[in-house]
């Protein structure tokens, strides 16, 4: 761990000439007011992206983002300032500003600087140089040409590749210094196909906390292309989607976005502390059928939503949200945990040094059940099989959520019959899991594409689930 | 003016960037730089919740080596960082392909006139005053009615910033702008029904903001009216989009006539130029030079002059929304829309909101939309919605947990009326919009 700390020190402090002693000075300035929590968050992040379109390497970009955020919390009050200049006078001024929110109290001192220990769930690696630039270009070109060969109806292929190398260092008032090195890579292939004047699109991608070799291993990159083309061709033959309330079977993996929207956000600590969530005050109550156990887990090795420590320096864990249908607990950051009298679950996340942390999901998924997926389809007389989704959204107060299918089929007499156009599905978060009547034995996690937005802050997340049967969800098609 | 001094300083930095790019062998370059600072406070249940001081800066540079291009950006404005950023962009340009359509805008399209658009109106507000204002706003909402049961708080935001951009054709301009807002969100409860809604006001000039009390009252009123919402049975009916949701409908239209989607052939309005896209009474135009408006700009993200123009006249599509690259791909000229449209306006009709309800007669009033659910390639549209069921021009009861679906191509053609209840808070200015027939899915 000392190595990790030194690495982070080198990445975020050394360029600005800041020392541990300077961190103490800034912290002690914050601690001259009566605070419950105080932290300084240093971040340095290098990213690049490459785009191939129209058969050429069209764009490339490189960006560096670095800065520090200074926070003081007292009761429910938070003072916050940040700067992209990691310089002692600038950060001392920021500290002076933010403590103004807090009543004056006893002068405290930062504890002795010490480094904490915790397990790590991804390699300490900088993905950017993991392939030489020419190799990245070759990868894009290969995926582009191999994908174009798959079908004559392909009109356009867009391939993108991006990577981020991020170092963070969090100093807390007790003197603990936590660091993390966070690699993240992402690749995407989208295609447009045309037949008899009708155009459709398909898109597939993935990634994780790894380096670029991830896309070469197991032919992942080439498979994204195949999957994007398959989806687009299915949609070429899709008819009108049905409208109304019906039985819906959700496929495994990315459709787990249902869990993220329908219940995940509603179980974030801030909404529940404030009593603004449809799930507020319901711990111990039944919120799902007894087939459902849902967890949020930041500890899955190499996943896009995983973190070794959250952005407040708390190690992540597997948090049981719902066990056999009973609501067990919420996802917490430090502030909300303290105010609710529980401990942080390692879900305090922020988009960057320029944003305040709040309770956010990591990888949210449902544990597998007993049923063979085919058995589940067979049990449906008439309904919708939704295999793939675009985004979703939730109103955590009313509990209403939506998510949009991008690949769906009709189920008639226990068989998947024909594809239908994408449609939005809408439901009520606190009800939807009570209608889960079958859970498959085929748990899958998504391929590493999720980005979650809350209060204008975006963070990478993961979702997953086995095949699920829901007895009654509203499908927003046009065929009345 | 202190601003002018800062703008000049940042212009020098941009010039340094452009010079450095030339030094490193670029045949052309474009650079932009921004510095912003601001204050946000939020008050919840009468107590300060957060006090935030914002301070952001960033620079971006794009270099061209002939027809090859590379970009880089950083938050560090030091001279050493400028050099590194330029060299990062240059090393990327060594690997991108020759693209016949890439490059800076045509010289003759660059803006040469820079009217004062009155975008800079600093607000003399400190943390204490902002807290007092937010408190007044939240108090108004919380005391509005006994069923207002909880609050997500009220917040005041004040931001000011400077943007400078230049290119190797000699363009080098900058301006200062401000943006202030006041918002409030509360909850209401009746039995098992819990609802939340909000209201906000945003303006370049704080004097143009709605009063704290008016915003608080409106937030409370909007929340209360949603209580005990129910679903609808699946049906087809006319739909009235309130002004706030109508701007999303026009946003989808703009997406479909934007250069990027057109040259990728991922638009449901390919080759629609000169054809009837809306009914005859519809006129949609851009007003980039309105004083103190949120979407005003003398030039676009590439320095191309913006100009007032009609996009739709008599329901017929007159022009696309293009930047330099997409324009060249389509064999056209930039319309000054690199970075988007400027104060896009649909001419209001004669009916106010109540008149529009009467025109709807019996159908759905949509006040909130959820999810993405718009397929740009096909125009297929299916979104979650909440609003009110209306009969004989009178609101009957709140509606939720339904979807509305159709195809945008038909929806735009089937617009029946546009209200004069214009929402000025965004870059798209529209009143409520009545669409003839959509599919509603519900219980």
Contacts of A356 in chain B (CB under 8 A): 50, 52
Query: What is A218-262 written as a DSSP string?
Result: GGHHHHHHHHHHHHHHHHHT-BPPBEEEEEEEEPSSGGGHHHIII
Mean pLDDT over A3-18 rounds to: 88
**pLDDT exceeds cutoff 90 at B203:** yes
Distance from CA of B115 to the nearest CA of A (A): 32
Mean pLDDT over B413-436 rounds to: 97
Distance from CA of A66 to the nearest CA of B (A): 7
Mean pLDDT over B391-418 rounds to: 97
**pLDDT exceeds cutoff 60 at B406:** yes
- Of the listed ranges A13-27, A294-308, B151-165, B310-324, the one predicted with least confidence: A13-27
Structure confidence at residue A99 (pLDDT): 85
B194·A77 Cβ contact <8 A: no
A101·B372 Cβ contact <8 A: no
End-to-end C-alpha distance for chain A, whole angstroms? 61
Distance from CA of A8 to the nearest CA of B (A): 18
Question: Is there a contact between A160 and A51 (Cβ–Cβ < 8 Å)?
Answer: yes
Structure confidence at residue A15 (pLDDT): 85
Strands B284-286 and B309-313: antiparallel
Mean pLDDT over B65-91 rounds to: 95
**pLDDT exceeds cutoff 70 at B1:** no
Each residue's pLDDT tens digit, A31-41: 877 889 999 99
Contacts of A424 in chain B (CB under 8 A): 370-371, 373, 382-384, 403, 405
Instruction: Copy the structure tokens of residue B45.
Output: 């249940």
Distance from CA of A354 to the nearest CA of B (A): 8
Q: How far is CA A477 from the centre of its chain?
A: 28
Structure confidence at residue A16 (pLDDT): 85
- Please choose, from the candidates A68, A110, A119, the residue with its C-alpha nearest in 3D space to the C-alpha of residue A92: A68
Nearest by CB to A78, from B49, B98, B236: name it. Answer: B49
Tallying the residues shown for chain B, one arrives at: 443
CA A470 – CA A460 distance, rounded (Å): 27
- Please choose, from the candidates A214, A210, A362, the residue with its C-alpha nearest in 3D space to the C-alpha of residue A299: A362
Confidence of residue A112 (pLDDT cuts 50, 70, 90): confident
A76·B44 Cβ contact <8 A: yes
CA B15 – CA B31 distance, rounded (Å): 8
**pLDDT exceeds cutoff 70 at B2:** no
Structure confidence at residue A110 (pLDDT): 81
Distances B203 to A347, B138, B177, B295, B427 between C-alpha atoms, Å: 35, 19, 11, 11, 11
A59·B266 Cβ contact <8 A: no
Contacts of B32 in chain A (CB under 8 A): none
Question: Is there a contact between A299 and A307 (Cβ–Cβ < 8 Å)?
Answer: no
Nearest by CB to B382, from A397, A401, A476: name it. Answer: A476
Mean pLDDT over A151-168 rounds to: 97
Confidence of residue A476 (pLDDT cuts 50, 70, 90): very high
Each residue's pLDDT tens digit, A193-216: 999 999 999 999 999 999 999 999
Mean pLDDT over A435-453 rounds to: 97
**Nearest residue on chain B to A86, judged by CA atoms?**
B76
**Nearest residue on chain A to B233, judged by CA atoms?**
A244
**Nearest residue on chain A to B55, judged by CA atoms?**
A83
Instruction: Copy the structure tokens of residue A200.
Output: 């459709």
Average pLDDT, chain A: 95
Structure confidence at residue B164 (pLDDT): 98
Confidence of residue A1 (pLDDT cuts 50, 70, 90): low
A192·B229 Cβ contact <8 A: no
A426·B406 Cβ contact <8 A: no
Instruction: Copy the structure tokens of residue B287.
Output: 């007003």
Q: Sign of torsion, CA B382 B387 B388 B393?
A: negative
- Please choose, from the candidates A424, A352, A419, A347, the residue with its C-alpha nearest in 3D space to the C-alpha of residue A390: A424
Structure confidence at residue A34 (pLDDT): 80
CA B29 – CA B315 distance, rounded (Å): 40
Chain A contact probe: residue of B32, B35, B51, B325 with most A CBs at under 10 A: B51
CA A166 – CA A184 distance, rounded (Å): 8
Each residue's pLDDT tens digit, B343-367: 999 999 999 999 999 999 999 999 9
- Please choose, from the candidates B187, B219, B176, B239, the residue with its C-alpha nearest in 3D space to the C-alpha of residue B45: B187
CA A426 – CA A476 distance, rounded (Å): 8
Spatial neighbors of B297 by CB under 8 A, at least 6 apart, are B117, B288, B306, B342
**Nearest residue on chain B to A389, judged by CA atoms?**
B373
Which is higher by pLDDT, A10 or A149? A149
Confidence of residue A111 (pLDDT cuts 50, 70, 90): confident
CA A309 – CA A1 distance, rounded (Å): 12
Percent of chain A past pLDDT 90, that is, above it, reads 88
Query: What is B154-211 written as a DSSP string?
Result: EEEEEEEEEEEEEETTS-EEEEEEEEEEEEEEEEEEETTEEEEEEEEEEESSGGGSPP
Query: What is A20-53 written as a DSSP string?
Result: HHHHHHHHHHHTTB--SEEEEEEEEEEEEEEEEE
- Please choose, from the candidates B83, B390, B48, B67, the residue with its C-alpha nearest in 3D space to the C-alpha of residue B242: B390
Contacts of A139 in chain B (CB under 8 A): none
Contacts of A94 in chain B (CB under 8 A): 53
**pLDDT exceeds cutoff 70 at A105:** no
Mean pLDDT over A51-65 rounds to: 96
CA atoms within 13 A on the CB side of A130: 25
CA A270 – CA B153 distance, rounded (Å): 13
CA B253 – CA A443 distance, rounded (Å): 40
User: Which value does ipTM take for this structure?
Assistant: 0.93
B/e letters for B66-76, b = 16+ CB within 10 Å, e = fewer, are eebbbbbbbbb
**pLDDT exceeds cutoff 60 at B443:** yes
Question: Is there a contact between B251 and B261 (Cβ–Cβ < 8 Å)?
Answer: no
Each residue's pLDDT tens digit, B40-51: 999 999 999 999
Structure confidence at residue B107 (pLDDT): 97
Q: How far is CA A18 from the centre of its chain?
A: 32
Nearest by CB to B71, from A61, A66, A199: name it. Answer: A61
Q: What is residue A478's three-state secondary structure?
A: coil
B265·A80 Cβ contact <8 A: no
Instruction: Copy the structure tokens of residue B269.
Output: 């309005």
Contacts of B130 in chain A (CB under 8 A): none
Each residue's pLDDT tens digit, B246-305: 999 999 999 999 999 999 999 999 999 999 999 999 999 999 999 999 999 999 999 999
Mean pLDDT over B77-91 rounds to: 94
Average pLDDT, chain B: 96
Helix axes B127-142, B212-224, angle to 10 degrees: 40
CA A388 – CA A251 distance, rounded (Å): 7
Each residue's pLDDT tens digit, A384-405: 999 999 889 999 999 999 999 9
CA B387 – CA B398 distance, rounded (Å): 6
CA A473 – CA A247 distance, rounded (Å): 6
**Nearest residue on chain A to B69, judged by CA atoms?**
A59
Distances A175 to A37, A96, A111, A114, B414 between C-alpha atoms, Å: 12, 19, 4, 6, 65
Mean pLDDT over A251-274 rounds to: 96
**pLDDT exceeds cutoff 90 at A106:** no
A60·B441 Cβ contact <8 A: no
Secondary structure letter of residue B276 according to DSSP: B
Each residue's pLDDT tens digit, A265-293: 999 999 999 999 999 999 999 999 999 99
Distance from CA of A118 to the nearest CA of B (A): 31
Contacts of A83 in chain B (CB under 8 A): 55
**Nearest residue on chain B to A404, judged by CA atoms?**
B373
**pLDDT exceeds cutoff 70 at A117:** yes
């Amino acid at each position: 761990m000392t190595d990790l700390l030194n690495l982070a020190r080198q990445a975020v402090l050394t360029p600005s000439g800041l020392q541990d002693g300077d961190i103490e000075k800034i912290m002690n300035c914050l601690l001259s007011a009566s605070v419950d929590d105080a932290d300084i968050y240093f971040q340095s992040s290098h990213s690049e992206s490459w785009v191939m379109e129209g058969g050429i390497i069209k764009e490339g970009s490189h960006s560096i983002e670095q800065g520090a955020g200074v926070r003081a919390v007292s009761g429910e009050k938070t003072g916050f300032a940040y700067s992209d200049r990691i310089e002692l006078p600038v950060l001392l001024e920021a500290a002076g500003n933010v403590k103004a929110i807090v009543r004056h109290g006893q002068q405290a001192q930062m504890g002795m600087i010490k480094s904490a220990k915790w397990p790590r769930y991804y390699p300490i690696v900088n993905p950017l140089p993991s392939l030489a630039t020419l190799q990245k270009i070759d990868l894009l070109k290969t995926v582009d040409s191999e994908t174009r060969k798959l079908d004559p109806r392909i009109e356009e292929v867009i391939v993108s590749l991006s990577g981020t190398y991020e170092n963070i260092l969090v100093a807390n008032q007790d003197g603990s210094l936590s660091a993390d090195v966070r690699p993240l890579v992402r690749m995407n292939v989208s295609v447009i196909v045309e037949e008899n004047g009708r155009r459709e699109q398909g898109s597939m991608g993935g990634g994780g906390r790894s380096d670029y070799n991830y896309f070469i291993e197991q032919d992942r990159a080439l498979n994204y292309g195949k999957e994007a083309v398959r989806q687009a061709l299915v949609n070429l033959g899709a008819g009108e989607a049905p409208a109304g309330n019906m039985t819906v079977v959700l496929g495994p993996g990315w459709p787990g976005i249902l869990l993220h929207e329908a219940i995940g956000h509603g179980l974030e600590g801030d909404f529940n502390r404030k009593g603004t969530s449809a799930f507020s005050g319901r711990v111990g109550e039944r919120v799902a059928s007894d087939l459902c156990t849902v967890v949020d887990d930041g500890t899955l090795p190499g996943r896009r939503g995983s973190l070794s420590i959250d952005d407040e320096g708390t190690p992540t864990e597997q948090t049981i949200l719902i066990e056999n249908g009973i609501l067990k607990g919420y996802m917490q950051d430090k502030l909300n945990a303290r105010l609710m009298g529980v401990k942080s679950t390692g879900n305090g996340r922020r988009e960057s040094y320029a944003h305040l942390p709040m309770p956010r999901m990591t990888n949210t998924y449902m544990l597998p059940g007993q049923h063979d997926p085919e058995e589940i389809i067979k049990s449906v007389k008439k309904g919708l099989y939704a295999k793939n989704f675009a985004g979703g959204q939730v109103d955590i107060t009313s509990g209403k959520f939506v998510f949009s299918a991008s690949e769906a089929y009709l189920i008639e007499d226990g068989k998947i019959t024909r594809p239908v156009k994408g449609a939005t599905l809408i439901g009520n978060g606190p009800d939807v899991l009570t209608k889960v009547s079958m859970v498959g034995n085929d748990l899958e996690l998504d391929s590493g594409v999720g980005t979650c937005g809350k209060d204008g802050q975006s963070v990478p997340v993961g979702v997953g689930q086995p095949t699920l049967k829901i007895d009654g969800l509203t499908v927003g098609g046009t065929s009345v | 003016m202190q601003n002018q001094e800062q703008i000049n300083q940042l212009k020098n930095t941009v010039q340094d960037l452009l010079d450095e790019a030339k030094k490193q062998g670029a045949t052309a370059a474009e650079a932009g730089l921004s510095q912003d600072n601001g204050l946000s406070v939020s008050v919840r249940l009468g107590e300060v919740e957060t006090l935030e001081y914002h301070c952001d800066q960033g620079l971006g540079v794009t270099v061209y080596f002939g027809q090859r291009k590379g970009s880089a950006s950083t938050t560090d404005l030091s001279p050493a960082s400028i050099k590194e950023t330029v060299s990062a962009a240059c090393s990327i340009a060594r690997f991108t392909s020759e693209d016949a359509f890439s490059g800076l805008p045509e010289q003759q399209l660059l803006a040469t006139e820079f009217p004062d658009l009155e975008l800079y109106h600093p607000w003399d507000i400190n943390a204490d005053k902002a807290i007092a204002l937010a408190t007044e706003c939240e108090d108004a909402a919380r005391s509005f009615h006994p069923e207002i049961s909880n609050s997500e708080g009220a917040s005041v935001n004040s931001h000011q910033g400077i943007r400078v951009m230049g290119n190797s054709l000699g363009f080098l301009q900058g301006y200062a702008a401000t943006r202030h807002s006041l918002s409030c969100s509360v909850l209401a409860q009746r039995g098992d029904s819990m609802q939340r809604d909000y209201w906000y006001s945003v303006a370049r000039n704080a004097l143009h903001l709605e009063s704290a009390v008016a915003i608080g009252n409106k937030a409370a009123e909007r929340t209360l009216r949603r209580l005990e919402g129910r679903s609808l049975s699946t049906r087809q009916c006319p739909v009235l989009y309130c002004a706030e949701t109508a701007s999303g409908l026009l946003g989808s239209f703009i997406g479909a006539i934007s250069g990027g989607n057109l040259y990728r052939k991922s638009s449901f309005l390919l080759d629609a130029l000169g054809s009837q896209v809306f009914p005859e009474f519809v006129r949609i135009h851009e007003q980039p030079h309105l004083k103190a408006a949120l979407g005003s700009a003398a030039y676009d993200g590439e320095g191309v002059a913006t100009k007032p123009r009609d996009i739709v006249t008599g329901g017929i599509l007159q022009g696309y929304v293009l930047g330099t690259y997409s324009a060249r791909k389509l064999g056209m000229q930039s319309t000054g829309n690199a970075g988007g449209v400027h104060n896009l306006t649909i001419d209001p009709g004669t009916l106010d909101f109540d008149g529009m309800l009467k025109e709807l007669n019996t159908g759905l009033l949509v006040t909130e939309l959820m999810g993405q659910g718009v397929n740009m390639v096909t125009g297929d549209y299916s979104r979650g919605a909440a609003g009110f069921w209306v009969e004989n021009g009178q609101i009957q009861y709140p509606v939720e947990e339904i979807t509305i679906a159709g195809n945008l191509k038909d929806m735009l053609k089937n617009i029946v009326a546009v209200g004069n209840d214009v929402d000025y808070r965004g870059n798209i200015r529209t009143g409520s919009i009545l669409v003839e027939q959509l599919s509603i899915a519900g219980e």
